[in-house]
Amino acid sequence: MVSRIIPVENFDLVIIGATGDLARRKILPALYRLFHAGQMPESARIIGAARSDMGRDAFRAVVQDAIRQHVPKDKISADMLAGFLSAIDYTPLDATEDKGWQNLQAMLRADVIRAFYFSVGPQLFAPIAGRLHDHGLVGDSARIVVEKPFGRDLRSARELNAVLAGSFDEHRIYRIDHYLGKETVQNLMAVRFGNMLFEPLWNAQYVDHIQITVAETVGIDGRGPYYDRSGAVRDMVQNHLMQLLCLTAMEPPSIFDPDAVRDEKLKVIRALDPVAPAEIVRGQYRAGGGAACYRDEAENPSSTTESFVALKCHLSNWRWKGTPFYLRTGKRLRARVSEIAVVFKDPPHSIFGPRGPRRGNVLVIRLQPDEGMDLRVTIKEPGPGGMRLIDVPLDMSFAEALGPKGIDIPDAYERLIMDVIRGNQTLFMRGDEVEAAWAWTDPIIAAWEARGDAPVAYDPGGAGPDDSLMLLHRDGRRWREIGK
């Protein structure tokens, strides 16, 4: 169960591209879980739309398969499934032609919230936005949801923003970065701004450095063509890691309100210094452990796309001047770990002499797996033998802490879809934020393209290339282990 049911208004949600991978893996299972948790109003409707000329029953079979594949068995019962499927409808629709739009128009109700989820490639955003408009489907309550990648550079992101702005006001555009829907990411704001404990120390005076890691064990399997045109910087750093950086570094907004939060995030992105080429390490995984190498998976024998990146960046503002942020993300690494580690400075003087603590306090915010927080503190090692100091974790797993049976932490998409219906844009990227993130990322990519740099090879199942370790070693620091 989820912690509390906050009802939302009745809605018609149209998923355009409803038979695609994202819809089947993420959107439809998330909707089912919301239905299961009693969070979907009884008469809410989900209308699938795609090019396939199938009927409602055939689409319901697609939905049923998706749920059986992607929802844990203990949440699936025949009654629940039947109830959910009865809310599902379908209409064939061609994004690039006028076929099907009148039919969709006829299916929509006038008196409920209308949301259109663009679960399609960005090249279709413009034709869909235009047709929604031309066919009169955009009522007063209409809103659209668009997925990443939101462009592949500043120019294309600007074009997309301009195209969408032609049909929709900014307050109706929900740009998804699913990392913002993760429970612990929201918790970062709660921890920072709901407690007195951390905020006074949350600055360059007390924080030595910050590490943000998103490590994955998977490769690029099945996504070769998309991924090979993107690489880790475009696929992960420009969006997910950037959002984690923003929430870690931003000033407290005056109020928890969509624009107040996004204004503060934007200031962080704009305060980022350009990254020097020597402070970026790019890697590409070799074959190993029975899995193919990156180039074979990408089906591009001469690919120079990175499946790993580590970089060091600085923020030029009062709070963070002098505190480096180290970011790294990669595929086929030792473990699946996403975390933010805030490493505090050592005490200015150790009264315990040379046996004093060598590492500062570390606050680790774990996004996955096992969402929670861990604060490393120095204590006396219990027992006789004088004053020996050790570092121990004060570990708080949210699942354990929140009740004897734990809590069912909702998937990011559950949270985000409900926020779309509620009309709450706090956890969605604003157009200027996306553009600012590309404005910072573009020169990084342009610099290595101009030099013709190739990524260094790394073995699967490890922590990425050794050069990434060096990035910190030469500053007298070290990365936290990936999965111990």
Among residues 177 and 435, whose Cβ is nearest to ligand BG6? 177
Name the strands in the sheet holding 173-175, side by side, starting at the edge strand that comes first in the sequence: 88-92, 45-50, 11-16, 113-118, 143-146, 173-175
Non-local CB neighbours of 256 within 8 Å, separated by 6+ positions:
189, 193, 426
Cβ 206 to ligand BG6, closest distance in Å?
A: 29
Among residues 148 and 312, whose Cβ is nearest to ligand BG6? 148
Cβ 178 to ligand BG6, closest distance in Å?
A: 6
Alpha carbon 418 to its chain centroid, in Å, reads 17
Q: Are strands 362-368 and 280-285 parallel, antiparallel or unpaired?
A: unpaired
Among residues 230 and 425, whose Cβ is nearest to ligand BG6? 230
Cβ 216 to ligand BG6, closest distance in Å?
A: 5
Interface residues for ligand BG6 in 150-189 (CB under 6 A)?
178
Closest CA to 179 of 342, 413, 335: 413
Cβ 338 to ligand BG6, closest distance in Å?
A: 6
Do the Cβ atoms of 92 and 100 come closer than 8 Å?
Answer: yes
Q: Point out the residue whose Cβ comes nearest to ligand BG6.
A: 235
Tell me if the bond preceding 460 is cis, omega within 30° of 0: no
Interface map 104-143 toward ligand BG6 (x if CB under 6 A) = ----------------------------------------
Do the Cβ atoms of 154 and 442 come closer than 8 Å?
Answer: yes
235 binds ligand BG6 (CB under 6 A): yes
Instruction: Give the residue, chosen from 12, 208, 216, 435, that forms a contact with ligand BG6 under the rule CB under 6 A.
Output: 216
Catalytic machinery residues? 240
Report which DSSP code applies to 416.
H
Cβ 148 to ligand BG6, closest distance in Å?
A: 6
Contacts for 187-193: CB closer than 8 Å, 24+ residues apart = 187/365, 187/371, 187/373, 187/398, 188/244, 188/247, 188/248, 188/340, 188/365, 189/247, 189/256, 189/261, 191/365, 191/373, 192/247, 192/252, 193/252, 193/256
Interface map 329-368 toward ligand BG6 (x if CB under 6 A) = ---------x------------------------------
Among residues 131 and 234, whose Cβ is nearest to ligand BG6? 234
Among residues 12 and 235, whose Cβ is nearest to ligand BG6? 235
Interface residues for ligand BG6 in 17-36 (CB under 6 A)?
none
Residues forming the site for ligand BG6 (CB under 6 A): 148, 178, 216, 235, 338
